[in-house]
Amino acid sequence: MPTFVEMLQAAAERNNSLLCVGLDPDPKLMPVPDVAEFNRAIIEATSDLVCAYKPNLGFYEALGPAGHEALEQTLKAIPSWIPVIGDSKRGDIGNTATAYAHAMFDVWGFDCVTVNAFGGQDSVEPFLDYHHKGVLVWCRSSNPGARELQDLIVTPPLGGDSRPFYEWVAISAAKWNTHGNVGLVVGATYPDELEVIRDLCPDMPILIPGVGAQEGSLEKSTMAGIDVQGRNAMVSASRGVLYAGNDPATYPDDARKAATQLRDRMNVMLEDRDLGWPT
């Protein structure tokens, strides 16, 4: 069974892509009423353009049982070679954390999940125990309020350098990466912080949300987030792709155009730095 990292690398190379499309259905914005139908059309239109898909569970849970059914149908529609990230940012302790890990990996079958590590290593250990699955630690979020807590300067209890809290999260995640299955979530709206985090974690995959509706810089965040080979970054776009068009007859084509533009813009950046895809 391939690991998440192996799946990610293979999909990225196959599609020449660092683009991750977030499957976040919003009934107020969807041009068709059926969530599963909407997602299937998006997937069919973009599956040769992405390195991963990322359903955010909040959008499905908000729809109740029908949302769970739509998520199940959505997962079935994604080609098996494309890794799927369950964006849930679960964070708890003890048997609850174990139950969350079981639900995300064994029940839903996600290849990777996002987690909130505020509770420390033991709160994410149940996820890390799935060695072939990916665990993306929420490190520096893309929202304006992120600075309130994530930028707090923290000094270790036993002494040492003082750093912003988000840097300690990255350093801790690197220590937990004993099985090579840990990555980070860092918002595109803070490219300077992303560059620091990449320096702290040079080889770990980084999910980079916020390049679309949240107006993060695509060029700055992509260049700050890639590793030295120009890989290991998943630049995530949701609304900018899903709702690129609102005509029921043409929205898949509009989504494809938006996804193509994002992927190709990133590929030009890579080529300018001699980091393009093998031919």
Domain contains 252: yes
Asked if 46 contacts 238 with a C-beta cutoff of 8 angstroms, the reply is no
Please report the pLDDT score of residue 264 as a whole number. 96
**Domain housing 193:** 4-272
pTM reported for the whole predicted model: 0.96
| Residue 134, beta-bridge partner list | 112
Domain contains 187: yes
CATH number of domain containing 207: 3.20.20.70
Compute the distance between CA of residue 197 and CA of residue 218 in angstroms, rounded to an integer: 17
Domain contains 191: yes
Structure tokens at 194: 């992303």
Domain contains 159: yes
Domain contains 221: yes
> What is the chain's pLDDT, residue by residue, as a tens digit (279 residues)?
899 999 999 999 999 999 999 999 999 999 999 999 999 999 999 999 999 999 999 999 999 999 999 999 999 999 999 999 999 999 999 999 999 999 999 999 999 999 999 999 999 999 999 999 999 999 999 888 989 999 999 998 877 789 999 999 999 999 999 999 999 999 998 899 999 999 999 999 999 998 865 445 899 999 999 999 999 999 999 999 999 999 999 999 999 999 999 999 999 999 999 999 987
Domain contains 279: no
- Coil, helix or strand for 117? coil
Query: What's the domain count of the chain?
Result: 1
Please report the pLDDT score of residue 208 as a whole number. 96
Nearest to 229 by CA among 7, 5, 9, 49: 9
Compute the distance between CA of residue 143 and CA of residue 2 in angstroms, rounded to an integer: 33
The verdict on whether 133 is a catalytic residue reads no
Residue at token pair 């499905």: 60
Task: Describe the crossing of helices 218-225 and 191-200 by its angle, rounded to 10 degrees.
Answer: 10
Domain contains 215: yes
- Coil, helix or strand for 85? strand
Please report the pLDDT score of residue 216 as a whole number. 53
Nearest to 217 by CA among 261, 240, 241, 187: 187
Domain contains 277: no
Compute the distance between CA of residue 207 and CA of residue 142 in angstroms, rounded to an integer: 11
The CB density around residue 271, as the number of other CB atoms within 10 Å, is 12
Q: CA-CA-CA-CA torsion for 21, 31, 243, 239, nearest 10 degrees?
A: -60
Which residue in 28, 54, 76, 89 is the catalytic one? 89
Compute the distance between CA of residue 80 and CA of residue 250 in angstroms, rounded to an integer: 26
